[in-house]
Structure 1
Amino acid sequence: MSGSRADPSRPGATRRGRGISRSSLACALTARCLAACLAALPLMTMDTACAQVVGPPIRLTPSADPSASVPVPSPVAPPVTSPVEEAAPPAAPSMAVVPVVPRPPPVASQPLGPPDPDGAGLLSGGEGLGGDPWRGVSQADALPLLAALPVNTPSPTAKALQRRLLLSAGSPALAVSAGAPPSGPAPVFGDAPSSHRSGRRFGALRVTALARLGDARAAAELADRLPGLLSGDEAAARALTDAELLFGPMECAKAQARGQGFEDPYWRKVDLYCRARLGDRAGADLALAMLRERAGRADPFLPLAESLTGGPPPGRRALLDASPVALAAMRTARVPVPPDALALTDPALLAAIATNPATDPATRASAGERAAAALFLDTRQLLDLYAQIPVRGDEILRARDLAGRDRSAYGRALLHQAMAATMDGSRRVALAALAVELVDPLWRSGPVGGAAAALLDTVSPTPDAAALAPAATRLYAAVGRLDAAKRWYDLAQRGRTADAAWLWPLAAVSGLLPRGADAAGLSPWLAEAVRGAGDDARTRVAGQLALLQAVGVAVPDSAWLAATDGAGPPGGVVGGVDPALWQRLGDAATGGRVGETVAVALLLLGEGGPTGTPPRLVARVAANLTAVGLEGDARALVREAMAALVAPTGSER
C-alpha cells in the first residue's frame, strides 16, 4: 500500500477506515461547495479554488494550461477523465469539478489563398472524418505523420480508420492561420524526415500510404483527382504500381504511361511485364533487349523476363528476386514460388505468393495466413486456400489430434476440411472448439479469426455446445459479429459454465449486456478475477479496468485498489511510448484537430494494433478519439483489445 492513494500517511489521503468513500463525498458536494468555489474566484483561479474543496481530476486527455488565460466555467464538455494518468497528490478526496477550459484565442481574419489541389478526396462528411479533418494543422506538422503511418496492422478498425483519414477531403495549411492552436513540433519517425525535407506533396504521401496498405484501387482513384501528382513524384507512382502488381487491378496502359518520365530500370520491367501479359510479343522482345542493356545480365529479373517472352522456365537463381514485379511475373508465367520463400517477412509479398496458383498449396496457405494477419487477404481468400490443401490418407479422421499437435496453417486447414466431412454433432463441436482455440489472440479480429468464425457458424448455440460458448463469444466479439456473440454469451450465462464469469468485461464494452447492467457486474467479475491472481494476472485486470473506463464504465477507486493489491491506479506515460507523442495526442484532441488526433493515435498503436499494445495506451487512444467525435472507432478498438485480454481465471492467454 506504500505510495497508494489509500495510504493514510500521505497528505490528503482518504481515510477509508472512517467509512467515508469517494462516492459518498461526491454525493455530499452541495451548493455550499460550489458557492465556496465561486467565492474564491477573485482570489485564485477556479482550478485552485475547487481543488482545495474536492481535489483535481485525473485525466486521460491533458488539462488546459491555466497560464493561457483567466479560466472560466464553460458549457463545453470536459475532456475524458480517468485514473490512469499521474496527477499531484490531492488535498482532499478526488471528485469531479466544474469543467474549466481556457478562453479561445482572439479571432483574426486573413485573406483566403487558392484552394489546395491536394485537398480532394473520395470521402466527405460523415463518410470520412468530417468537413476538413486537417483544419488547424500545418503541413510541416502533418507530412511527417503521414509518412510514418503503420502498414502491417492486424486491426481491421485501425486500418479502416487510417483509410478514412487518407481518403477524406481536406488538407493541412501551408502555415497555421492566426488564432489556431499550435500543434507542437513535428516528431521524427523512421524515414519520415527525409520524405518531408524532399518537398513531397501532401497528396503524394496520401497515395503512397494507401498503396502500402494494399488498397490499389482507392490509391489510383485518389491520384486521378490530384492533377500532375504521379508525374512529379516517382515514389508515389512506384508505390501505386507495386500495389497494382501485388493486389490488382493492374491497368497496364496507365502503368506504362506512368513510368515514361522516369529512368529507373524498374519501369522497363513493368513495361515488359505488361507487354507480355497483353500478348505483345514483339514489344516484349524489344523491352527485354532494352532491359538487358540498361540493367545488365546480372539482374535476377532477367530469367523471369525471358520466361515471359517465351523462353525456358527460370532456374532457382531467378527466385532470388522477391520484388513485386518479379512476383507478378511468376504468377503470370505460372512459375511456382519455392517454400523457402516463406523467409520473407513482408506480408504484402506473402500475399502475392499466396495468390500464385502454380505454387504448392501448403506453401500458399502458410503465406496466406501471414498475409491475412496483416489484412492483405480477406477471410474468403483464406478459406479458399484452406480448401485447396490436399489431405493425405486418413488425416481427416485424425484431424483433431493432428491439428492439436501441428498448430499451423496446415492443421487449421485440416480442421476446416474435417468439419465439412462430418455430420456427427459432438465431433463438430469438438472440431469447432479446437479451431477457435488455435487462433492466435493477436489475430482474432482479422481474417484468421474470421475463418474460424465461419467454421463456428455451422454449430448452433444449443445446450449441448455450452462448453464452447465462452470461447465462441470472445471470437465473435473480436471480429465484430455482435449478434452472434450475443447468442453465445446468453448461452454461456444460462449454462453457468466455470469460465463464463471472465466474459463480463468483453460483454460490457461490446454492448452485450442489458442497459445499465455494466455497473452491477463489475464487482462480481473483479472479485473472481483477482482471487489468487499473480502479478501478470493483476496487470491484465488493471488493463481491463482502463479499457472499461475509456468507454464510460464507472470504475471506483476500490476496484483499482483491489486490482493492484493496494497500489492504486497506474499513472504517467506507458513504458516504451514516446512521451512527445503521448502528449501530442491529448493536445490535438483538446484542440479539436481531428486529422492530427487520428494520425497520432495510429502511430501510438503502431503495427501491433490494439491487440499488441499495452491496454492503458489503447484506453488513452480511445478516450481521445471519443473526444473528437469518433466514439464508434474508439469502442471498436477497445473491443478488439479486450477480446485479446479476456481469458479464463488463472490463464495468462
Structure 2
Amino acid sequence: MTAFSARGGRAPGVASAALLSAMLLAAVPPAAAQDAPVTLVPPGTPAAPERGAPSDAKPAEAVAPGIKVDTLGEIDPNSVGLLDAAGGGFGVAMWKGTPRSLVEALLPELPGAPHSAVGRDLYRRLLLSAAESPAGAAPKDRPSLLAMRVSRLLAQGDVAAAQGLLRVVPQRLDEPAIALARAEVAFLTNDNAGACAEVGGRLGQLGTMFWRKAQVFCQLLAGDGGGAGIGAGLLQEQGVEDPPFFALQRMLAGEKGIDISGLEGLEKASPLHIAMMRAARVQVPPAILASGSPAVLRAVALSPNADLDTRLEAAELAETRGALESETLRQLYLSVGFSPEELTNALGASEKLSGSRGRALLYRAARGQTLPSAQAELIAGAFASARKQERLPTAIRVLLPVLAGIEPSPDLAWFAADAGSALYVVGSFDAAAKWAALAASTPASAGDRSRAASAQDGIKVPADVTLWPLAQLAGLKPKLAEGTAPSLAVAGQGKIVTAPLVTVQASSGFDEAAFERWWHAAGALGSEARAAKGARILVLAEALGAQVGDDAWARLLSAPPPAPAAVTMPSPGLMTGLKRAAAAGRVGETVLIALAALGTERPSKLDIRVLAPVVRALRAVGLDEPARKLAVEAIFDRNA
C-alpha cells in the first residue's frame, strides 16, 4: 500500500499503522491546556464505539478493474500517538535502528518530572509521538510500550496528555497497566464513576493492592458500607500500612471526629487519596505538599477542598515541575483577594505575606499597572521573592505577558539585566536582545538609582556583560559600537575600559572580546568560581558549534581546579550510548538517553560533563533549538 502525507505528498516508508494513527488524530500542540479536554478527532468524525461493541468495518474491495485497494493490517497499539512530525512529534521512524529491549529498559526508569523546561518538552514529545514500534519481540510479562508511555506521562504530572493518549488506545486492548492508568486519571480528574467502572471490570485482579483499595472506595460511593468495611478489615488484617486511607474510609462510612492532618503517609498521597478526600469533603492538609508527585500537586492546586494558601503553594510547585499550565496559576493568583491598600503598596505589602501569596499580590499589581516603570519594579520584586525559593523560572513564565508588554527605554536601564535574563531563559531571544542593546548603550555609572550595573561583592557589572553569556549561547553576537566606551567600575581599582554592544546579530561564532570583559567582571566571584563559570561557558559554546580561540582557553590554564563535589554522574555506558545513537541519527533513542542522563536536576546544577554531550547529541539529530535552549538554561543562574 502506498502512503501519502496529509499535505498530499508521497510519504514512502510510512507504516500504515502510524499513518492511520496520524489520520485519526488531531495533533495536540505542546502547550495545550492541561485542564481542558483534548480533541482527538476532526469535527464530524463518528464517535468511537463503546468498549466491546461490534464493529461494522469491512475489508476493502477492488473498486475498479486494475485498481487495487489493500486492506489495512491490525494497528499496533504501541504506535498510536497524539503528535505527528508536523505537530512536534519526532516522526514515524524515530525508533528505526533502536532495539526494543533498550527502550523497554530505559523508558520506565525515566525521571518523573525534569526541572528543565526543555527537558519536559522533549519528554512530552517523545511520549506522545506517533511512531512505528522499535524492532524486537514484546515480552509477555511486562507492560506494553504504550502503557509505559502513559505511566511516564502521569509521573510527569501531564494528566491531560495521559488522558488524551488513553482515549486513542484501541478498544480491543485489555491490559492491566492501561486499566490502572485509566483509573488513576479518572481519580485525578474527579471522575469517580469512570474510575469505579474500571474497578468493576477488574474484579479478577483484586489481589493487586491498588484495586482492592479502590474497590473499598467504590463500594462506599455505592452505599455498600458493609462490603467496604469487610474489604478494609481484610487489608488491615494483612498488615497493610496506609493510615490516611483507613481514616478516610472510616470518615466516608460515617464515623465522626477523625482528623487526618497529622497522619503519617500524607507525603505519599496518591490519586486515590485525593479522590477520597474530595468525596469526604475533607480539607486537604498542607502536609500533602511534601508529595513528590507532580500529578498530586496539580490535583491539590485545583481542589476546592484545599484552603487558598495550600492551593497557591501546590500550584507553584506543580508549575515548577510542568504539571500545571502557567495560565492556570495566573488565574489562581487573580482569585486571591487583596485590599486597595495592599495593591497600591504591593512591594511593601508582599514582604509581610507568604511567598506564594506575596507573588500573587505582585502579579495582580503588575497586571493592573499601566506605568512601565512601576510594572518593572513589581516584576523585579516578584523575581527576587521567587529566587529565594528556587522558583524563579515559574515567576518568569507567569509574569511573561506583563514583561513582554514593556518596551525597553533609557529610564528602565536598571531593569535590563532582569528582563533580558528572563526573556532569554524562556526562549524569547529577540525580545531579550532589545534589553541587551539597551544595557549596552547605558553606562554603568549612570546615576545612583541605575541598576544597569548589578553589584556583586564590590564590583559593578554592566548589564550587557551580565547578559553576554546568555546571548552567546542563544546564538546572538554582540556588535560593538565605535567611539563609545563606558567603564566597568571596580571597587578599589582602576577602571577597565570596555566597548558596549548596541545591536545583536545572529551568529554561531564566539566573541573573544566579550568573554574578556566577562572574565574581568567575574573576578569578584573569586578565582575558583570564575574558572568554573568560565569553563561552563566555553564548553557549552563549543558544544553548540562555536570555535573558541586559544586566548579564551588560556584564561583557564592557570586557574585553580574546582573543589571536589559530590555529583551523580550517568554511567559510562549511558553516555557512550548517547554518543553512538546521535552519530547514527537515531532520534528517539538519542532523546530517550539524553533525558535519562539529565535526570531531574536543574540544568544550572548539572555537571558540564553531562550537559555538553547532551547538547552535542541533540544537535547531531537535528534538534538544534532544544540544544541551544538547554545550554541557556544551564548558564541562567551562573552568569556574573
TM-score computed with the length of structure 1 as normaliser: 0.68
Inter-partner Cα distance in structure 1 for 2:200 and 2:473? 50
Once residues 522 and 259 of structure 1 are traced to their aligned partners in structure 2, the CA distance between those partners, rounded to angstroms, is 65
From 463, 471, 488, the counterpart of 1:499:
463
**Do the aligned residues in 1 keep the contact of 2:436 with 2:463 (CA within 8 Å)?**
no
Within the candidate set 480, 485, 501, 2:432 is matched to 485
Q: Deviation at 1:232?
A: 3.0
The reply on whether 1:216 has 2:140 as its aligned counterpart is: no
Tell me, yes or no, if the aligned pair for 1:373 and 1:448 is still in contact at 8 Å: no
1:553-586 Cα shifts (integer Å, max 9, x gaps) = 221222122145368999xxx9733222111110
Deviation track 1:369-414 (CA, whole Å, cap 9, x = no partner) reads 1121111112112223333344479554554245458782233223
Task: Compute the displacement of 1:605 (Å).
Answer: 0.5
Are the equivalent residues in 2 in contact too, given 1:473–1:485 (CA < 8 A)?
yes
Give the equivalent residue in structure 2 for 1:521: 511
The Cα shift of 1:161 comes to 1.1
Partner of 2:144 in structure 1?
201
* Alpha-carbon distance between aligned partners in 2 of 1:210 and 1:418, rounded to the nearest angstrom: 35
Q: Distance in 1 between matches of 2:167 and 2:203?
A: 17
What letter is aligned with 1:123?
A: L
Determine which of 277, 282, 285 is the counterpart of 1:335: 282
Contact 2:90-2:126 at 8 Å conserved across structures: yes
AA matched with 2:175? G
Q: Deviations over 1:481-505 (max 9, x none)?
A: 3343233233223334322212122
Once residues 644 and 564 of structure 1 are traced to their aligned partners in structure 2, the CA distance between those partners, rounded to angstroms, is 24
Partners of 1:136 and 1:315 lie apart in 2 by 56
Where in structure 2 are the equivalents of 1:435-446 lying within 5 Å? 435-440=382-387, 446=393
Contact 1:167 1:222 in 2 (8 A): yes
Match of 1:411 in 2: 358
**1:267 matches 2:211:** yes
1:371 equivalent among 308, 315, 318: 318
**Counterpart residue type for residue 603 of structure 2:** P
TM-score of the two chains, using structure 2 as the length reference? 0.69
For the 8 Å contact 1:302–1:318, the answer to whether it is kept is: no
Equivalent position SS for 1:504: helix
2:591 to 586, 591, 598: 598
TM alignment of 1:348-427, pairs within 5 A: 348-391=295-338, 395-396=342-343, 399-401=346-348, 403=350, 408-420=355-367, 426-427=373-374
**Equivalent of 2:187 in 245, 254, 259:** 245
2:228 paired residue among 283, 291, 309: 291
Residues 1:140 and 2:101 are matched in the alignment? yes
CA-atom RMSD, angstroms?
Answer: 3.7
The answer to whether 1:157 aligns with 2:118 is: yes
Deviation at 1:511, TM superposition (A): 4.4
What pairs up with 1:165-184 in 2 under 5 angstroms? 165-168=126-129, 169-174=131-136
Secondary structure of 2:323's partner?
coil
Name the SS for the 1:345 alignment partner: coil
Distance in 1 (alpha carbons) for counterparts of 2:108 and 2:637: 29
Moved more, 429-438 or 361-370: 429-438
CA distance in 2, matches of 1:443, 1:244: 32
Quote the offset at 1:291 in angstroms: 2.2
SS in structure 2 of the partner of residue 644 of structure 1: coil
In the TM superposition, what whole-angstrom CA distance separates every residue of 1:517-568 from its partner, at most 9, and x where no partner exists? Answer: 5646332233332452521122012111122222222212221221453689
1:347 to 2:305 alignment: no
Tell me, yes or no, if the aligned pair for 2:581 and 2:590 is still in contact at 8 Å: yes
**Alpha-carbon spacing, 1:457–1:328, altered in 2? closer, same or farther (3 Å):** farther
Alpha-carbon deviations, 1:52-95, whole Å to 9, x = none? xxxxxxxxxxxxxxxxxxxxxxxxxxxxxxxxxxxxxxxxxxxx
Q: Secondary structure at the match of 1:301?
A: helix
Question: What is the CA–CA distance in structure 1 between the aligned matches of 2:562 and 2:289, rounded to whole Å?
Answer: 44
Contact 1:138 1:173 in 2 (8 A): yes
| Structure 1 residue ranges without an equivalent (≥5) | 1-112, 177-195, 277-282, 648-653
Q: Structure 1 244/482 Cα, relative in aligned 2: closer, same or farther at 3 Å?
A: farther
Distance in structure 1 (CA, Å) of the matches to 2:182 and 2:331: 27
1:147 deviation in Å?
0.8
**SS of the residue 1:461 aligns to:** coil
User: For residue 304 of structure 1, what is the aligned residue in structure 2?
Assistant: 248
CA distance in 1, matches of 2:343, 2:209: 49
Deviations 1:13-46 (A, max 9, x none): xxxxxxxxxxxxxxxxxxxxxxxxxxxxxxxxxx
Distance 1:501 1:408 in 2: 30
Q: 2:547 aligns with which of 549, 554, 571?
A: 554
CA distance in 2, matches of 1:258, 1:482: 52
Q: Where do 1:425-464 residues align within 5 Å?
A: 426-440=373-387, 446-457=393-404, 459-464=406-411
Letter in 1 for 2:259: G
- The number of aligned residues is 506
Sort the Cα spacing of 1:358 and 1:221 in 2 relative to 1 into closer, same or farther, 3 A. closer
1:395 and 1:431 mapped to 2: Cα distance?
13
Counterparts in 2 of 1:464 and 1:230: CA distance versus 1, 3 Å = farther
- C-alpha separation between the residues in 2 aligned to 1:204 and 1:382? 30
Identity across the alignment (%): 32
Supply the AA of the counterpart residue of 2:463. Answer: D
What letter matches 2:260 in structure 1?
R
Q: Which has the higher contact order (CA 8 A, sep 6+)?
A: 1
Check if 1:610 corresponds to 2:585.
Answer: no
